[in-house]
Structure 1
Amino acid sequence: MTSSIRFAGRAGLAWRTSAVLGAGVLALAACNGDSGAAPADDEPTSEGSSSAAADNGDTGNVEIRFSWWGSDDRHTLTQEVIDLFEEKNPGITVVPDYTDWGGYWDKLATTVAGGDTPDVMTQEERYLTDYANRGVVADLAELGLDTSMVDESVLTSGTIDGKLAGVATGINAYTIVADPQMFEDAGVEMPDDETWTWDDFKQISQEISDALGDGMYGVQDYGGNEAGFNIYARQHGESLYAEDGTLGYSDATLESWWQDLVDLRESGAMPDGSRSVEIAEGGPEQSLLGTNSGAMGFWWTNQLSAISSAAGRDLVLLRPPGESEFDRTGLYYKPAMFYSVSATTEHPEESAKFVDFLINDPEAGALILSDRGLNANTEVRESVSAQLDPLEQQAAEFLADVADEIVDGPPAPPNGAADVPEITGRINEQVLFDTLSAADAAAQFTSEANAAIGQ
């Protein structure tokens, strides 16, 4: 008999809780069968349909379905990867099944609820725990997946209740992107990112704003992304989430973090509320860095190329402030996304073989490059580095440089964590417009985040 292996991937930062919960109770008892969800109008309709997964009988061929989300460029690239896998693995045919990010989580929840769980699926960290706790995904370690060249802290991020629920497709880090030209124009020296403190960061930001005048700023607001606070909390020996699935920080630490943002805004080092909201809605292209009106911002390392392109000049990566200020560092590797295997797949060996190919095969890595984050396999990442563009190479070098400084990876976010980005952004806006103090914002965030994760 043949079966379908489905793979799913992500690009973007929109989170949709309804995608996981809206399909109702996930049906886990049914074995992953040959029928798939009907493709949307813009998805493959011949190879991706349920009839494509029919029993090939005397041919002995196994058909596996590989589903993902993303842009047209990703679809084209992924087909090349599929072709290479089929060439290297005669007897396994990979059927593409893709959609865009907007419809992915609804589709995944629906197929799982219908007993048609993708054999190989891509997960995002905020949803992985939910699917793992429901028994949807297999333990990749039990399937014998080779993870010997994946950093232990990265594996931790995909490990839930002692089981490897997902292996990272690639990694990013949330850190400072800076414009050396802006520093030079302001007459301010670039900081030593191995030693600078949060007070240094605030002072430098204000010095740049004061030197460059109206409409120019030292730093862009960064309070709307909880990853920044997670780094700050980790530096203080805490964490956004604890190992037991609860919140892992004190309100005092969160208040201090938001108070820094208030101080930056009040000093003029950061734009006011209206301008900050407008900038945030515009993405990298409309950022302070992208419009040559700001010297620094917190961004993911994989966004360096896009922001530099918008700026029209090369920007650089810096460690977050405070990495040497406290007893430990806070920076961590974030999996761009995860590959997971269905717990009910009829073809666990082929599923694991496909995932192994995606993360461990140098030729596959040479095709994928940075499309799903810089490869989590350190050997593959190094082997393809010469093929990356100069800014991607800078990101790869940065990630390698900080490897010895990263203490560990944060625990996987608990069920309900998909709601936290919206909570963070909404409360941050209230701080920006002075409708909440830093202390009140911390208390409200904790209350709402606890409710979201069922605490």
Structure 2
Amino acid sequence: MHPATSPTTGASAEPPHGTPVPRRRLLRRLVAAAVAVPLLLGGAVACGSDDEAGSDGKVELSIFWWGGDARNQLTEQALALYTQKNPNVTFKKTWQANQGYFDKLATLTAGGSPPDIFQIDDNYLAEYAARNTTLDLTEAKDNGKLDVSKFPESLWQYGVVDGKLAGLAAGENTQGLVYNKTLLTKNSLPEPTTGQSWEEHIAWAQQVAEKTKVPGTMDPSADYKAFWVWLRQQGKDLYKGNQLGFTAEDVTKWFELWKGARDRGATPTADVIHEGNATDITKQLVVTGKAGTSWVWVNQMPELKKNTNDELGVVAYPGDPSAQWARASMYWSVFRGSKHSDTAVDVLNFLVNDPEAVKILGTDRGLPSNLDLRKAVGDQITDPAMKQSIEVETALAESFGASPQVPIKGHSKVRAELIKAAEEAQYGRLTPAKAAEQFVTAATAAVA
């Protein structure tokens, strides 16, 4: 499941989409899709070519998404509302659980029957956009058919790939440092605050460990979210164009920072850190009592809260909070060869900007992208943890910086290789420098 997925559908610390698709197999299918797309296009595919509606003016759009039962019910309700308001448009709906979603999407695309509208995330958006599978939504944005005027600017920009708007943010999320407020209050310890430096955070975590015997913080050296924010604070980035945006020296500094934290007892031992790296959101160390903090996505607060009786708090990751951005939790994209692209764009606009539709969808795909409607949705939410998530992200939005580029081809492999290399350092099997060298070599190959 994606990081921004609703607690009602389950989540994990970096929720998978299910069984990862072997990259070689996925790329074979996408290459096939790249061949199939021009055949399907058959000429011009400018946004607005609804010239193949039936003689009665009726249009059927195919739409494909992943999610659990709750998401599916909400999405079907929102689509039914669109049909109610636009009787000539109906939907051929397909949804499935996370497992195998992107495998099936690649198969549909390669087989010449891609959906008109599909859900996608930042692990795959750049790959599909690079193969001209996604319609460029820029024209629709510029002419007002796709209204992003109420979006945080960095949110809609996080759907731009090579100058083309490849996906529309279905919701927003950002990184959050969740901490055990009950543990701190019970021991008269200060709470972490947004803006603390990384060194201050580690010193605070050491103080927590010394007083409570609970390591103050999960070690996030294997967590790409934390590494990415830290890089941006150093003037670097995860990616730069089609290459890595960092060097082995940068990674060495990152690994050394957390080796120092482990040596001071501020983090758990390697075996417990591995548990935090490997388990889903319901077993993160902040709720199992094995660490005072966990590094997650802000909207995962409700799911965390379900798994502990303790009160939780959440702040930005350490360092300058402007390194964080309004991140698209997931996107809606339109197939470039859709015969009904203009109607498909209108559906996207409806799902994010229609007050009734947005209230139906709620926070299932992240916080509503439209800030005005986000407030309306927030006002109707009764779950204290979700209210807290909305309040925190709304507050953080005031300090968000520009969005980075969407992750490039090989991103999923880069994430996996970071975990492998960080654990080599965490267990002491490699020095930070050697582990960093291993990671950069593998990551470079992954994006080549």
Structure 2 residue aligned with 1:29: 38
Counterpart in the other structure of 2:226 = 228
Aligned partner (choices 16, 34, 38) of residue 13 of structure 1 = 16
* Aligned AA (1:184): T
Q: Distance in 1 between matches of 2:355 and 2:83?
A: 15
The one-letter code of the counterpart of 2:204 is I
User: 1:56: Cα distance to partner?
Assistant: 8.6
Shift of 1:315: 1.0
Number of equivalenced pairs: 417
Q: Please give the secondary structure, in 2, of the residue aligned with 1:145.
A: coil
Q: Look up the match of 1:202.
A: 202
Q: CA deviation at 1:134?
A: 0.6
Residue 115 of structure 1: aligned partner: 112
Which amino acid in the other structure matches residue 32 of structure 2? Answer: V
Offset at residue 32 of structure 1 (A):
7.0
Shift of 1:150: 1.5
Q: What does residue 86 of structure 1 align with? A: 83
Partner residue, 1:211? 211
Deviation at 1:92, TM superposition (A): 0.5
Which residue of the partner structure matches residue 187 of structure 1? Answer: 188
Aligned partners of 2:431, 2:242: CA distance in 1, in Å? 27
- Partner residue, 2:157: 156
Distance 1:296 1:282, change over 3 A: same
Which residue, out of 380, 390, 394, partners 1:396? 390
Mean CA deviation greater in 341-350 or 78-87: 78-87
- Report if the CA contact (8 A) 1:156-1:409 is conserved: yes
The normalised TM-score by structure 1 is 0.87
Among 327, 331, 334, which residue is 2:324 paired with?
331
Displacement after TM superposition at 1:362 (Å): 1.3
Choose the corresponding residue for 1:425, options 419, 427, 442. 419
Q: Distance in 1 between matches of 2:155 and 2:358?
A: 18
- In structure 2, how many angstroms separate the alpha carbons of the residues matched to 1:61 and 1:341? 19
Secondary structure of 1:63 counterpart: strand
Structure 2 unaligned residues grouped into runs of 5+:
6-10, 43-51
Alignment match of 2:73 (pick from 66, 71, 76) = 76
* Separation (CA, whole Å) in 1 of partners of 2:434 and 2:136: 41
The equivalent residue for 1:259 is: 256
For 1:217 and 1:419, the matched residues in 2 are separated by 30
Rounded Cα–Cα distance in structure 1 between residues aligned with 2:436 and 2:53:
58
Distance in 2 of aligned mates of 1:203 and 1:280:
22
Q: How much does 1:57 deviate?
A: 4.7
How far the C-alpha of 1:434 sits from its partner, in A, is: 0.9
Q: 1:453 Cα deviation (Å)?
A: 0.7
SS of residue paired to 2:203: helix
Please give the root-mean-square deviation of Cα atoms over the aligned residues, in Å.
2.0
Query: 1: distance between equivalents of 2:227 and 2:68?
Result: 30
Give the counterpart letter for 2:109 in structure 1.
Answer: V
Once the 2 structures are TM-superposed, how far is the Cα of residue 317 of structure 1 from its aligned partner? 1.1
Q: Take 2:32 and 2:421, find their aligned partners in 1: how far apart are those partners?
A: 31
Please identify, of 405-414 and 182-191, the stretch whose mean Cα deviation from structure 2 is larger.
182-191
User: TM-score, with normalisation over the residues of structure 2?
Assistant: 0.88
Q: What residue ranges of structure 1 are gaps of 5+ in the alignment?
A: 1-8, 34-54
After superposition, the C-alpha distances for 1:21-66 in whole angstroms (9 at most, x for unaligned) are 1424211123279xxxxxxxxxxxxxxxxxxxxx995543211122
Tell me which amino acid in the other structure corresponds to 2:170. Answer: T
The separation in 2 between residues aligned to 1:359 and 1:347, in whole angstroms, is 19
Q: Distance in 2 between matches of 1:273 and 1:68?
A: 37
Query: Which position in structure 2 is the counterpart of 1:305?
Result: 302
SS at match of 1:269: coil
